[in-house]
Amino acid sequence: MTRDRRRADEGFSLVETLTSLAIMGVVMTALTTFFISTTNTINKERGLQMAVQYAHDGVEMVRSLPGPKLAQGRSAIDVANQLLTDHVANLDLTALRNSMKPAVDSALSLTAASVNPILPIIPETRTFNGTVFARHWYVGTCVMDPKLSDAPCLLSSTVSNPLSFYRVVVAVTWQNSRACTGGECSYVTDTLVAGSLTDPIFNPSVTVTPPLPDNPGNQTSEVTVPITRLALTASTAYPPITWSAENLPPGLVINDAGSITGTPTVAGVYVVRVVVKDNASTNDASFNWTVNPLPAIPQPVDQTWDAGSAVSYTVPLTGGTAPMTWSATGLPAGLSIAPTTGVITGSSTATGAAAAATVKVAVTDKYGKSANATFKWNTKVAVMYPNATTPIALTKGVAYSGSVVVAGGSGVYTITSPNLPPGLSMTSAGVVSGTVTGGTRYLVTLNVTDSLGATNSTVVPVNVTVNSGLKITAPTASAPDKTGTKGTAIATQTATATGGTTPYTWDATGLPPGITLATTSNNGVMTGTPTTSGSYVVTLTVTDKTGATSTFSFVWKIT
């Protein structure tokens, strides 16, 4: 078990602390707003995509019907009430009434109720992905100047022999309190069907091939980057054709010829519907247009690695458009960054100044937009000996001399320990000497600092053999450590000792929360239920009648 001991500093003033907290609060508030806005936009676009499909399924059904059939079963009183009482966001019913005459079934009396209308007056509902969508039908008649291919269909016309059409407006509504004003979202579209069965264009007995748009497929672009002109194409038997589009990303426009140009201004995913119209009919195609935000590198966390250890660190990235190109300067020797992924790998061989290197990373995306960040890369001093996994064997009353060996740093090393066994001392160069006066087991912490301030620490077990006098016999040095589970009572653990003058008393430090120690019949009895997960360094101390003591340290891990 190691701990990263950094050089002590002078601390922060109250003003500095409050300023830091304020800055953190502002950043977290901004990020919260960003994530909420992004989630709302995605939810709205998912709903819109389902609404578009539901509406255009209805349009396709309408196109398959002869015009006079559209009013079948619709009573005058029900249609009038619908146009007066229905509410659909983004649909002006007054304007709708002024642009077409309500279509009703002439076989029904003025006050009769509707009878199984082909196009329902009461909204139909369907549920997609847990959201309820309502489809509203509005049917009317209008007339059009036959001499103008792009003439609007109006309530009346001053020209002679105008073309008569049925106009069907399809509106789909759904609820989304976060994404739409007032909580109600809507999508509205319409289509025209010839009013005469003998019309040369809309005669259902004649097969009319609608224009066939070539779907351009899903598109990807980036805010502030002008798009490459997207030219839409379609095949038709009745030229000329004109184009329009719904839900283009903000900043983009389409002209009648089907060219989409502009510079996206708002990141998001947009479900775009393009509509192509020829002299006979219309058709459409839908695709997703993803607008990425500019690339950004959130501030990387300063890295600390052991000298010589295998490294794998992915630099964080948001936004941008692939492919990406990465670069880095200041990396410790032995490390490199993958130019296509931003992953830093290798094995640090650096010493000296590289122990606290300043690393600058940069990324450039497909459109030449760049971002960069700077962070610290710290390389620890390596403790070569003693080995943290191999206990040091000492004997009480026998002189000992040994040295701590370190590497991977620069200049002169300073080595300290806060908890050597009693009787031992250590120089700053790591030379340990003396005669151990206590027992029975210790967990010794070694702290190492080089001349440039790079640090490391390690914990080494020390087993002390006691040939005479008080010593702890359980736990044992061969199996010292314990485990437990949070919320589950432990099996009773008994600590024992020999060699002293009874009675014995027991004490412990570092026990996991929920575990207690009591002295029972000269033994230390540990019971209880752990309440907190973690790894705990426990030190047991036994004291005999004469005041002699012995200690035993071990690790108790609670999962």
Give residue 259's pLDDT: 97
- Both tokens of residue 557? 């891990």
**For residue 195, is pLDDT > 80?**
no
**For residue 11, is pLDDT > 70?**
no
Residue after which a domain boundary falls, among 330, 364, 380: 380
Residue 2 lies in a domain: no
Average pLDDT of the segment spanning 353-363: 79
Confidence class for position 511, pLDDT limits 50, 70, 90:
very high
**For residue 35, is pLDDT > 50?**
no
Residue 544 lies in a domain: yes
- Report in angstroms the alpha-carbon separations of 207 from 63, 192, 200, 201, 280: 12, 16, 10, 9, 11
Give residue 381's pLDDT: 75
160 and 53 share a domain? Answer: yes
Report helix, strand or coil for 409: coil
Name the residue with higher pLDDT: 293 or 209: 293
Give residue 451's pLDDT: 79
79 and 200 share a domain? Answer: yes
Average pLDDT of the segment spanning 133-145: 91
The continuous run of DSSP H or E covering 76 comes out as helix 76-85
186 and 40 share a domain? Answer: yes
Residue bearing tokens 């620890």: 380
**For residue 512, is pLDDT > 90?**
yes
Q: Are 275 and 232 in contact (CB under 8 A)?
A: no
Task: Calculate what percentage of the chain has a pLDDT beyond 90.
Answer: 60
DSSP for 194-221, written as a single string: ES-TT-TTT-TTS--PPPEE-----EEE
The continuous run of DSSP H or E covering 4 comes out as none
Residue 8 lies in a domain: no
List, for residues 211-265, the tens digit of each pLDDT value.
Answer: 999 999 999 999 999 999 999 999 988 889 999 999 999 999 999 999 999 999 9
Average pLDDT of the chain, as a whole number: 87
Residue 5 lies in a domain: no
425 and 458 share a domain? Answer: yes
Give residue 200's pLDDT: 45
Quote the CA–CA distance of 271 and 287 in Å, as a whole number: 6
136 and 91 share a domain? Answer: yes
Task: Calculate what percentage of the chain has a pLDDT beyond 70.
Answer: 88
43 and 167 share a domain? Answer: yes
Residue after which a domain boundary falls, among 267, 293, 319: 293
- The count of domains in the chain is 5
Confidence class for position 497, pLDDT limits 50, 70, 90:
very high
Residue 351 lies in a domain: yes
Please tell me the number of Cα atoms within 13 Å of 150 on its side-chain side. 10
- For the domain that residue 530 is a member of, what is the CATH number? 2.60.40.10
When mean pLDDT is compared over 6-10, 366-370, 375-379, the highest value belongs to 366-370
332 and 202 share a domain? Answer: no
Quote the CA–CA distance of 60 and 153 in Å, as a whole number: 20
State phi, psi for 62 to the nearest 5 degrees.
Answer: -60, -40
Question: Which residues on neighbouring strands pair with residue 524, listed in sequence order?
Answer: 495, 519
**For residue 353, is pLDDT > 80?**
no
Give residue 182's pLDDT: 81
List, for residues 53-111, the tens digit of each pLDDT value.
Answer: 999 999 988 888 888 889 999 999 999 998 888 888 878 888 888 889 999 998 898 88
Strands 549-558 and 482-484: parallel
122 and 191 share a domain? Answer: yes
409 and 347 share a domain? Answer: no
Confidence class for position 16, pLDDT limits 50, 70, 90:
low
Residue bearing tokens 């007066």: 84
Give residue 445's pLDDT: 94
441 and 398 share a domain? Answer: yes
Quote the CA–CA distance of 216 and 160 in Å, as a whole number: 42
Confidence class for position 305, pLDDT limits 50, 70, 90:
confident
Residue after which a domain boundary falls, among 172, 206, 240: 206
Report helix, strand or coil for 183: helix
When mean pLDDT is compared over 2-11, 93-102, 435-444, the highest value belongs to 435-444
List, for residues 449-496, the tens digit of each pLDDT value.
Answer: 887 777 788 899 999 999 999 999 999 999 999 999 999 999 999 999
Give residue 29's pLDDT: 55
79 and 195 share a domain? Answer: yes
Question: Would you mind telling me the total number of residues written for the chain in this entry?
Answer: 559
- Both tokens of residue 97? 């009434």
Question: Which residues on neighbouring strands pair with residue 168, listed in sequence order?
Answer: 139, 191
The continuous run of DSSP H or E covering 456 comes out as strand 455-465
**For residue 38, is pLDDT > 50?**
no
Confidence class for position 36, pLDDT limits 50, 70, 90:
very low
Average pLDDT of the segment spanning 104-124: 91
129 and 270 share a domain? Answer: no
User: What value, to the nearest 5°, has the Cα angle with vertex 28 and ends 23 and 33?
Assistant: 130
**For residue 357, is pLDDT > 70?**
yes
Name the residue with higher pLDDT: 306 or 390: 390
Owning domain of residue 449:
382-465
Give residue 355's pLDDT: 60
Residue 4 lies in a domain: no
Least confident of 161-175, 471-485, 520-534: 161-175
Name the residue with higher pLDDT: 326 or 153: 326
Average pLDDT of the segment spanning 176-184: 81
Choose among 484, 497, 499, 503: nearest CA to 541: 497
Residue 219 lies in a domain: yes
Residue 411 lies in a domain: yes
Q: Are 314 and 342 in contact (CB under 8 A)?
A: yes
